Structure 1
């Protein structure tokens, strides 16, 4: 699947993990994604900046 461009105000990692199913495909049933858990506990390290409204 082609990578989608992360929309303004969104976290690139969260966006990729939500739309690229191959990332979680390697996980066993009931196994959690460690990068996703890290984001849930520690927040987003980077958000795509929003464009200033004119």
Structure 2
């Protein structure tokens, strides 16, 4: 079951690929996801911003 929204501080692509089984359904056994490999090599394009901490 996939979450509807990416939590703050997380990468949307990483979150979707980790929690949505359909993202890797078309891959064979032991086959790497090209999007995930590219993401690991090139890093996260953007992260969902966290709320500003206001504990003062």
Give TM-score, length-normalised by structure 1. 0.90
RMSD value over aligned CA atoms?
1.2
Query: Bigger shift: 1-10 or 41-50?
Result: 1-10
Could you tell me how far apart the structure 2 residues matched to 1:2 and 1:45 are?
21
Which structure 1 residue ranges, 5 or more long, are not aligned?
Answer: none
Task: Tell me how many residue pairs correspond in the alignment.
Answer: 54
Rg comparison, structure with higher value: 2
Give TM-score, length-normalised by structure 2. 0.87
Which structure 2 residue ranges, 5 or more long, are not aligned?
Answer: none
Runs of 4+, deviation exceeding 4 Å: none
